[in-house]
Amino acid sequence: MTSSIINSARTIILYDDVTSGNLVLSEIKKYLSELIPGIRVELRSGFIEHFGVREKIPEFARKLARIKLRDQKRKLEDFNPLPGEIQFEKKLLDDPKTRRIGVIYDGFEFQKLSREMIPENELEMSVLHIFITNRLIATFDDNDRRYHARVIITGYPAVISTSGIVEAPAKPRDFYRMKQMGIILGDTTVPAELLNQHFQGRFMEHNDERLTEVIKGYILQAVFYHTTGEAFCNNTNCRLFNSHWQKEMIKAQIESGKLCKDHTGILNELIMSFEGDPGRHTFNPSP
Binding interface with Zn ion (CB under 5 A): 233, 235, 238, 240, 260, 263
Q: Which is nearer to Zn ion, 29 or 263 (CB)?
A: 263
Closest CA to 83 of 110, 58, 104, 100: 58
Q: Which is nearer to Zn ion, 107 or 217 (CB)?
A: 217
Question: Measured from the CB of residue 238, what is the shortest distance to Zn ion in angstroms?
Answer: 3
Question: Measured from the CB of residue 179, what is the shortest distance to Zn ion in angstroms?
Answer: 33
Question: Measured from the CB of residue 104, what is the shortest distance to Zn ion in angstroms?
Answer: 29
Cβ(215)–Cβ(203) below 8 Å: no
Q: Which is nearer to Zn ion, 40 or 263 (CB)?
A: 263
Question: Measured from the CB of residue 227, what is the shortest distance to Zn ion in angstroms?
Answer: 13
What region does 34 belong to: left with phi over 0, alpha with psi -120 to 50, or beta?
alpha
* Strands (DSSP E) found in the chain: 11-15, 40-44, 104-106, 127-133, 136-141, 146-150, 152-153, 158-161
Q: Which is nearer to Zn ion, 68 or 263 (CB)?
A: 263
Cβ(151)–Cβ(130) below 8 Å: no
90 - beta bridge partners? none
160 - beta bridge partners? 132, 152
